[in-house]
Amino acid sequence: MRKYCLLPLLLAAAVLVSGCQAAEAADTSGQTALATLSDLFTDRDLEVGYDETTAAAITLSGSTASSDSDAVTITGNTITITDEGTYILSGTLDNGMVIVDAEDTDKVQLVLDDASIHCGDCAALYVRQADKVFVTTAADSQNTLSGGDSFTQLDDNNIDGVIFAKSDLTLNGLGTLTIDSPAGHGVVTKDDLAVTSGTYVVTATGQGLSGKDSVRIADGTFTLTTGKDAIQSDNTEDTDKGFVYVAGGTFTITAEGDGLSASSWMQVDDAACTITTGGGSANGETHVSDTPPGGMGGGKGGRMPFEDGSTTTDGTAQPPARPTGELPPEGAEPPADMPQGTPPSDAPSAPATDTADTAATATDSTQTATDTTDTATDTVSTKGLKAGTALTILNGSFTMDCADDAFHSNGDLTICGGTASIQTGDDAFHADNALDISNGEIDISTCYEGLEGLTVTVSGGDIQVVASDDGVNAAGGADQSGFGGNGQDQFAAQDGVCITITGGSLTIAAGGDGLDSNGDLTVSGGTIYVSTKDGSADSALDYNGDASITGGTLIGVGSSGMAQNFGEDSTQGSILLTVDAQNAGSTVSVSDRAGNVLASWEAPQSFSSVVISCPGLEADGTYTITAGASSTEVTLDGLLYGSGGMGPGGTGGMGGMRGNRSDMAQTQTENAA
């Protein structure tokens, strides 16, 4: 009988670059190039067909097997394949293994057709030598590979995966492969791992899918439950390798480590991902502000995340922990005995880098428990998607519930499209270098900080952020969290640090500052709504360098104590006011003299300060700012009305009606409620 299942996958070679023409994944030489399907997969990787009439059959029968091929040697429960070709495996092997030991130029295809192989003390499938091995699941077949409670080492190799290969390995097919590894990893190769089709259910105490040189996924359905990283490529010896590329597929991942991890770059063209790491956002690290209460400046400083102004129950000066994602209470005050301007001596300092992301790993393709661990603190890295040099998302859907960052890059992070629903115990998006969002629908319902990078650029997309600290934070250094950071003057602008918003929609409800830059802040387009906690030392805008607005609409509300307005380089009018205390749900609007509403927003948190800028605010114009039941009429003398805060653009002191207010006219009327 001839069984021929030739079904080339109709996968486009061109990546989805709409809205992201400039997005490029970094290679090791510093040059940049987007990966494509045709670059990373061969025709045979994508091919799931085989000819049954020319293939060799291997029948598994309990404790032994049989085959009429001269290239198959069977010794007890061990099956060894020694030559190039296609081999069809069917039946059950109770406690044995299949070994591929061919020439290093040979390509071997193993077709699993309702095959079940269990090996209690080693790999169920061990590729000792070949050029490349293809593991193909036959159409509609159900296949199982499983391991036991231990691994016996062979050939001086650290074999600890149910599938363990020393050659390139491709998984494809039209059936299902279930892998159970109670003592190690699911699939491990010392070279490149490609998956182009098929359904995979992997349960492992270690990693799920691991390719030392790369992991390349064109398509497939994956359910991965792992004690370490679900998908990992980690080659710190060769900077051209260690990447993860995903062109498509459906992923349901529950990992105690990272979801997808690459020691170099990672690119996702399109995928449907549901990822839970480290038990989810509820298990995130407790964050305690290392900024002295009352302080300000860029970075993660200035918030008071405690309920009643008391010290912790153990008598230290640190505020007690509060659940990640919970906004600080209204009216929170610093402890009376805490000095202003000096961090408490026992406050934790921010790490210079995420050591879990950069720690050197074992030279073998398998990794030990410390590979995804911060060796200094023994904390496991529990990020959603993590890349060592660059992370690029072109499209896809992402439902993330992560104990640590949802999207993390030790270099650049580029988001060009797709949808994301994010809950995280730390940052939703973190880049040590540049974070660039040009498109996509992003809903961040729980995080410590929403968008963080050395530079943060938003040019498009629809972004919603609820953060327990800053909504957007631009700060120098990896995972910059400190007050001033690296011993710098807390009010000094850091070179190269900036937030730039040119388009899109950004809505922020923050427990810390809304837009917080240790350097500059520039707005030239887009629609931006920012809400911060009233009664705190945080504000809608917090910058250490220069701030300008030349287009777009911004409404920011929060506390008046440290409120800042835009600066003199602005070419669009901007108004900063202190208003009567307003409850959450109050509407803020600005109208021109004719009564036309230029901008309006219902603020989700209580506030006593408003900063507002939009097209139509012009020099010498008169406008009415309404906050709840309170209205203020303002006549602009120039383009700026009101400045505040203790940094650039402000004169210090309480309230938001300072600075250039003396040059302007104001008439305030109280409207009936």
pLDDT in tens, 46-92: 999 999 999 999 999 999 999 999 999 999 999 999 999 999 999 99
Q: How confident is the model at residue 488 (pLDDT cuts 50, 70, 90)?
A: very low
- Are 454 and 538 in the same domain? no
Residue with tokens 């490149």: 192
pLDDT digits (tens, 9 = 90+) for 580-610: 999 999 999 999 999 999 999 999 999 999 9
Q: Is 630 domain-assigned?
A: yes
Q: Is 432 domain-assigned?
A: yes
Q: Given this model, what pLDDT does residue 283 score?
A: 94
**Residue 76 CB neighbours (<10 A):** 9
The beta-carbon contacts of 100-103 under 8 Å, at least 24 apart in sequence, are 100/125, 100/126, 100/127, 100/128, 100/129, 100/130, 100/133, 101/128, 101/129, 101/130, 102/129, 102/130, 103/129, 103/130, 103/131
CB-count burial class (<10 Å; 0-12, 13-18, 19+) for 21: exposed
Identify the bridge partners of residue 598 per DSSP, sorted by sequence position: none
3-state DSSP assignment of residue 456: strand
- Are 500 and 384 in the same domain? no
- Are 491 and 400 in the same domain? no
Q: Is 47 domain-assigned?
A: yes
| Domains in the chain, number | 3
Q: Average pLDDT, stretch 266-283?
A: 97
Q: CB under 8 Å to 27, separation ≥6 — which residues?
A: 33, 240, 265
Higher pLDDT: 656 or 529? It is: 529
Q: Are 168 and 195 a contacting pair, CB within 8 Å?
A: no
Q: How confident is the model at residue 239 (pLDDT cuts 50, 70, 90)?
A: confident
Q: Given this model, what pLDDT does residue 17 score?
A: 40
- Are 272 and 412 in the same domain? yes
Pick from 228, 246, 264: which residue ends a domain? 228
**For residue 436, which of 26, 144, 14, 6 has the smallest C-alpha distance?**
26
Q: Is 123 domain-assigned?
A: yes
pLDDT over 60 at 10, yes or no: no
Identify the bridge partners of residue 81 per DSSP, sorted by sequence position: 72, 100
Q: Are 351 and 375 a contacting pair, CB within 8 Å?
A: no
Instruction: Give the structural domain span for 573.
Output: 480-670
pTM reported for the whole predicted model: 0.82
Higher pLDDT: 39 or 480? It is: 39
Q: Are 639 and 571 a contacting pair, CB within 8 Å?
A: yes
pLDDT digits (tens, 9 = 90+) for 302-321: 333 333 332 222 333 333 33
Q: Is 346 domain-assigned?
A: no
| Of 13-17, 284-288, 439-443, 557-561, highest mean pLDDT | 439-443
> What is the rounded radius of gyration, in angstroms, for the C-alpha atoms of the chain?
29
pLDDT over 80 at 647, yes or no: no
Higher pLDDT: 287 or 418? It is: 418
**For residue 316, which of 339, 287, 347, 341 has the smallest C-alpha distance?**
347
Q: Average pLDDT, stretch 507-515?
A: 97
Report the sign of the C-alpha dihedral through residues 403, 196, 37, 504, in that order. negative
Q: Average pLDDT, stretch 385-409?
A: 98
- Are 177 and 279 in the same domain? no
Pick from 228, 258, 278: which residue ends a domain? 228
pLDDT over 70 at 348, yes or no: no
E strand or H helix at 146: strand 142-147
- Are 505 and 453 in the same domain? no
Of all residues in the chain, the percent with pLDDT exceeding 70 is: 75
Q: Given this model, what pLDDT does residue 286 score?
A: 83
Q: Is 312 domain-assigned?
A: no
- Are 469 and 542 in the same domain? no
Rounded distance, CA 229 to CA 278, Å?
A: 10
Higher pLDDT: 522 or 630? It is: 522
pLDDT over 50 at 294, yes or no: no
pLDDT digits (tens, 9 = 90+) for 139-156: 999 999 999 999 988 888
Pick from 193, 228, 263: which residue ends a domain? 228
Higher pLDDT: 653 or 183? It is: 183
Q: Are 445 and 406 a contacting pair, CB within 8 Å?
A: no
Q: Which two tokens stand for residue 483?
A: 């007050």
Q: Given this model, what pLDDT does residue 263 score?
A: 97
- Are 163 and 252 in the same domain? no
CA distances from 610 to 499, 502, 529, 601 (A): 20, 22, 11, 11
- Are 467 and 397 in the same domain? yes
Q: Is 148 domain-assigned?
A: yes
- Are 450 and 496 in the same domain? no
- Are 101 and 174 in the same domain? yes
Q: Is 132 domain-assigned?
A: yes
Q: Average pLDDT, stretch 322-348?
A: 36
Rounded distance, CA 566 to CA 520, Å?
A: 11
pLDDT over 50 at 652, yes or no: no
pLDDT over 50 at 159, yes or no: yes
- Are 94 and 177 in the same domain? yes
**Average pLDDT value for the chain:** 81
Higher pLDDT: 349 or 230? It is: 230
